[in-house]
Homo-oligomer: A and B are copies of this chain.
Amino acid sequence: MRVEIWTDIACPWCYVGKARFEKALGAFPHRDEVEVVHRSFELDPHRAKGDIEPVLGMLTKKYGMSEAQAQAGENNLGAQAAAEGLEYRTEGRDHGSTFDMHRLLHLAKEQGRQDELINVLYRANFAEERSVFDGDERLVELAAAAGLDADEARAVLADPARYADEVRADEREAAELGANGVPFFVLDRRYGVSGAQPAEVFAQALEQAWSSRAPLTTIAAATDGDGEACGPDGCAVPQR
């Protein structure tokens, strides 16, 4: 079974939702047969690289919140994160473009290190004092901490075309699947879970997707039901 999770590194509910999902997955009897893939979704896709501002300032400016409202929201998110055992700095975080992080996540995916990198990036963005938007070398260090080769990460960051199509393709797919926010969880392309639902909801979704796995619909040539195949009893040899 496959679970795809659309996320943004700048999304606090994605950080919290991942922990809730993993709690459910850890208790799922068939967890060893579940493959998890992280997919890209930018909350702020039009923000330019280098256009960085404090999260609280962005919240008051973009959404017209008072500073007190914005801070209360951050405090609330911090409490929700703490309830999942996650560190969360409620003050002093930055907001910026996450496009390069998504490109690195696609590099990491190719090397089987996507989960390692997303954990490192989440921690850097939500828990560490140094801003995650502190230039390419900051991201190179984080990639290396996740087990990627530093030079390879540096080369990807230096060329904005690398993995850009993969990021866009993920975002297009999210829209096609009906996601207008993240985190967005898709199980075997049949079930969807939107948002950082409680762990019990993820447990139910895993159970439901598992138990409702349907038999495949077979497609074959009209003249040749099973095609030319090899099995334990040898290979079908065409007599033509």
A interface residues with partner B (beta carbon < 8 Å):
2, 8, 10-14, 16-17, 32-33, 43-44, 59, 62-63, 72-73, 76-77, 80, 109-112, 165, 169, 173, 177-178, 180-184, 186, 188-198, 200-201, 204-205, 208, 213-221, 224, 226-238, 240
> Are B12 and A196 neighbours in the complex by a CB distance under 8 Å?
no
Given A32-B169, A76-B237, A208-B219, are A227 and B63 neighbors across the interface (CB < 8 Å)? no
Closest B residue to A172 by beta carbon equals B33
Q: Determine the chain B residues whose CB is within 8 A of the CB of A77 once the complex forms.
A: 235, 237
Also in contact, A231 and B43, with CB within 8 A (given A112-B110, A192-B217, A192-B219): yes
Please indicate which of the listed interface residues A177, A186, A195 has the most CB atoms of chain B within 10 Å of its own CB: A195
If the complex has contacts A76-B238, A80-B238, A234-B63, are A228 and B189 also in contact, measured as CB distance less than 8 A? no
- Find the residue from A63, A224, A240 having the highest chain B CB count within 10 A: A224
B196/A14 in contact, CB under 8 A: no
Question: Across the interface, which residues of B come within 8 angstroms of A11, CB to CB?
Answer: 230, 235
6 closest A-B pairs by CB = A195-B227, A181-B231, A110-B112, A192-B216, A195-B229, A181-B229
Tell me whether A12 and B235 are in contact (CB under 8 A): yes
Report the minimum CB–CB distance from A85 to chain B (whole Å): 17
* Residues A228 and B17 in contact in the complex (CB < 8 Å), given A111-B111, A169-B33, A216-B190: yes
Bound form: Cα–Cα A236–B195 in Å? 10
The residue on B at minimum CB distance from A209 is B219
